[in-house]
Amino acid sequence: MREYLKFYIDGQWVDPVEKKTLDVINPATDEVCGKIAIGSAADVDKAVKAARKAFASWSRTSREERLEVLQRILAEYQKRFGDLANAVTEEMGAPASLAQRAQVPAGMGHLATAANILKDFKFEEERGSTVIVKEPIGVCGFITPWNWPLNQIACKVAPAIATGCTMVLKPSEVAPFSGHIFAEIMHAAGVPAGVFNLVHGDGPGVGVALSSHPEVDMISFTGSTRAGIEVAKNAAPTVKRVHQELGGKSPNIVLDDDVFSKSVARGVAQMMTNSGQSCNAPTRMLVPSKRMDEAISVARETAEQITVGDPNGNATIGPVVSEVQWNKIQGLIQKGIEEGATLVTGGPGRPEGLDKGYYVKPTVFANVTNDMTIAREEIFGPVLSILGYETIEQAIEVGNDTEYGLAAYVNGADLDKARDIARQLRAGQVSINGGSDMTAPFGGYKMSGNGREWGDYAFHEFLETKAILGYAPIQAAE
């Protein structure tokens, strides 16, 4: 039983101002696996003041000093790899294999990427007599989610450290263990006091206080669009920068060619990864209508090979994160049935033999139309919708017919055609045939958010632009 009853503020582990705790549930067993302290506006104020104090000196450190700190953080992170993997599996149900192969390495990747970019990043540019300077924005508030906890913590913290910002982190109270260990890593790495602070808590108690605090210069939030809107409203009176990485309903256009079966199978497997709990999951597969029956056959076979079970065993996917999420997913599966989509495999209820834990059957719907609820709403579970198209133009139109625009996918043998389609899809990141790149910018169009994370684009989110005129006066001609 884990107990994390202190916060990390100004380089020390401190008691909360008010003693209040929250039980953390293991989604695989439906049982309490730990307890955390829950913060308040008073704790946030202490953490922000520590960050503000530290900013005066940290913002003036050299590139080399910040690079050394990042490298120490990465070294300590690697030492705690096993602890982090165990925490992720326990708190949000990721299979041990996924935690070790993707969840924990993702955080490590962002730290390493930020260090590499920092070596050559241009913070100043001369334009005649003017110097344009990129300066750290200040104190940053981070509110991170439970689905890829370390990925989302590291992709905010790493560029903030690299650019000279200070920060206060509120990890998800649903999956807080890995965030707490991350704070231990920062302490062990000797990050100067006040540069990084952690306060556990929920949205109303800590999230609102952080996003509305007048001494927070930027709030970076990852989560649902609904919650992101509330964060923006809370931040508006203080005119702070708001960065949001929100929901998605990503289209996956499968081309009519000789690799069709392979493309469908890849789309199903990618959709089901992490129990479908990825904001950029390819949730809407678009296939040629004339090949719908073939798509159904391949999708059924692929989905039924996915095993669901104990995340500490050999299962492909574990549970979804909570009872709230399980109930939401069940309701949307039922909605798909009621609205007339073809249930290919899966469906309501737990998989056979799993009587406790928040397990969901890998579910595939076919003959879905884009006006159905399961094609419009983000389900955030292992549920795929297959839609038919008559022409590529129609596929692109349907693909773009969503309030979201986080990611999109194109799969097929004709690379030129795939490239042309990718350019027409209104999404912040488009993947062709499974392409991936941790240095590429990640973020959304439309209601999927504002700003970009990952790689060098992330650095710009944490920087203000200052123009110093007359910095190098032009010499008069003799």
User: What's the half-sphere exposure (Cβ side, CA atoms, 13 Å) at 92?
Assistant: 29
The radius of gyration of the chain's CA atoms, rounded to the nearest angstrom, is 23
Burial of 80 (0-12, 13-18, 19+ CB in 10 A): middle
CB 317 within 8 A of CB 308: yes
Choosing from 76, 90, 173, 245, which is the catalytic residue? 245
Confirm whether 279 is a catalytic residue.
yes
460 token code pair: 């710009």
Nearest by Cα to 222 from 473, 448, 476: 448
Choosing from 76, 279, 378, 453, which is the catalytic residue? 279
Which letter, b or e, does each residue of 246-256 get, where b requires 16 or more Cβ atoms within 10 Å of its Cβ? bbbbbbbbbbb
Dihedral pair phi/psi, residue 76, rounded to 5°: -70, -35
- SS3 for the chain, per residue? CEEECCEEECCEEECCCCCCEEEEEECCCCEEEEEEECCCHHHHHHHHHHHHHHHHHHCCCCHHHHHHHHHHHHHHHHHCHHHHHHHHHHHHCCCHHHHHHHHHHHHHHHHHHHHHHHCCCCCEEEECCEEEEEEECCEEEEECCCCCHHHHHHHHHHHHHHHCCEEEEECCCCCCHHHHHHHHHHHHCCCCCCCEEECCCCHHHHHHHHHHCCCCCEEEEECCHHHHHHHHHHHHHHCCEEEEECCCCCEEEECCCCCHHHHHHHHHHHHHHHHHCCCCCCCEEEEEHHHHHHHHHHHHHHHHCCCECCCCCCCCECCCCCHHHHHHHHHHHHHHHHCCCEEEECCCCCCCCCCCCCCCCCEEEEEECCCCHHHHCCCCCCEEEEEEECCHHHHHHHHHCCCCCCEEEEECCCHHHHHHHHHHCCCCEEEECCCCCCCCCECCCHHHEECCECHHHHHHHCEEEEEECCCCCCCCCC
**What positions carry a catalytic annotation?**
245, 279
